[in-house]
């Protein structure tokens, strides 16, 4: 393999969705890319700004449906870079926060492909923030525990949920919400622990629902909570904790715009 002919791969975090929340480095790499390998979430509107010559490959996953397996995504990155292309792997959020960026980095390194990682704003912080919910707040929460909702509940997560000073942020957890809540309540987590669900954070149709751990399953079913959504469990999600009570309570139907 001729080293001069090898391209490169940049694993780019695109943030929670809006283009103007991307980093300048992410934008610069996208504007220079020959190939963009895209997820379903994140700044998908960037497609309209790419040159017509850019090859765009959609590898987006839906809950329970992964049409392009991770091994195939790895192979696409390596294949295009070996052909001398500048490849941007554009992800929602940050590549290393439940983005499988580590697996893609390892695949590129193993194949001898130059690779770099560009951080993005993770939805674990940005989406609650869009609803006026800080994941830490002096005197309220001094630690954050981030969970993949599709995984089994671990002792560490149960401990975090039971700690008044910890905010637990659950990503990809809408489908598993009944199981997660049942496990938490069975472990003794208080039923009145505040919960907020923020759907489609940073989009015009954002919706925030504030409730409690004991009531969240019924409430989510009643209003039809759907992905993409971030679930926040902890005192920072309490109605009126940061925003005025009226504004926070009204966020259920329309989202809170700051």
Is 1 marked active-site? no
Q: Could you give the C-alpha distances from 127 to 43, 142, 174, 190, in angstroms and in order? A: 14, 19, 15, 24
Residue-by-residue DSSP string for 13-67: E-BTS-GGGS-HHHHHHHHH-SEEEE-SSS-GGGGGGS-TT-EEEE---BTTB-S
Catalytic residue among 61, 79, 163, 183: 61
Those residues with Cβ within 8 angstroms of residue 255's Cβ, 6 or more apart along the chain or in another chain? 130, 131, 198, 200, 205, 206, 207, 208
39 is catalytic: yes
**What dihedral angle (degrees, nearest 10) is formed by the CA atoms of 21, 25, 26, 32?**
140
Q: How far apart are CA 15 and CA 116, in angstroms?
A: 17
User: Residues, the chain, total?
Assistant: 258
Catalytic position from the list 39, 85, 91, 241: 39
Determine the Cα–Cα distance for residues 194 and 139; give it in Å rounded to an integer.
16
Q: Which of 22, 38, 153, 172 is catalytic?
A: 172
Task: Identify whether 172 is a catalytic site residue.
Answer: yes
| Cα dihedral 70, 71, 76, 77 sign | positive
* Cβ–Cβ under 8 Å, residues 9 and 90: no
**Which burial class, exposed, middle or buried, applies to 52 when counting CB atoms under 10 A from its CB (0-12, 13-18, 19+)?**
exposed
Structural tokens at position 86: 């500048």
Packing angle, helices 216-223 and 177-186, rounded to 10: 170
The set of catalytic residues is 39, 61, 172
């Amino acid at each position: 393999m001729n080293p001069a002919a090898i391209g490169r791969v940049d694993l780019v975090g695109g943030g929670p969705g809006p283009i103007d929340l991307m980093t300048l480095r992410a934008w610069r790499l996208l504007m220079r890319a020959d190939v963009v390998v895209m997820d379903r979430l994140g700044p998908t509107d960037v497609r309209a700004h790419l040159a017509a010559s850019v090859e765009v490959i959609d590898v987006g996953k839906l809950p329970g449906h992964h049409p392009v397996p991770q091994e195939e995504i790895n192979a696409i990155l390596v294949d295009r870079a070996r052909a001398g292309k500048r490849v941007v792997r554009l992800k929602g959020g940050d590549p290393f926060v439940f983005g499988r960026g580590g697996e893609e980095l390892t695949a590129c390194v193993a194949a001898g492909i130059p690779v770099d990682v560009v951080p993005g704003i993770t939805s674990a912080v940005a989406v609650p923030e869009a609803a006026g919910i800080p994941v830490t707040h002096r005197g309220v929460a001094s630690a954050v525990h981030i969970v993949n909702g599709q995984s089994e509940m671990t002792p560490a997560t149960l401990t975090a949920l039971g700690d008044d000073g910890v905010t637990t942020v659950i990503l990809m957890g809408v489908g598993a919400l009944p199981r997660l809540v049942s496990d938490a309540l069975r472990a003794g987590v208080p039923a009145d622990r505040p919960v907020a669900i923020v759907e489609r954070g940073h989009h015009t149709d954002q919706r925030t629902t504030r409730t409690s751990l004991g009531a969240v399953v019924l409430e989510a079913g009643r209003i039809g909570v759907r992905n993409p959504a971030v679930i926040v469990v902890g005192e920072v999600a309490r109605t009126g904790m940061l925003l005025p009570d009226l504004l926070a309570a009204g966020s259920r139907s329309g989202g809170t715009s700051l």
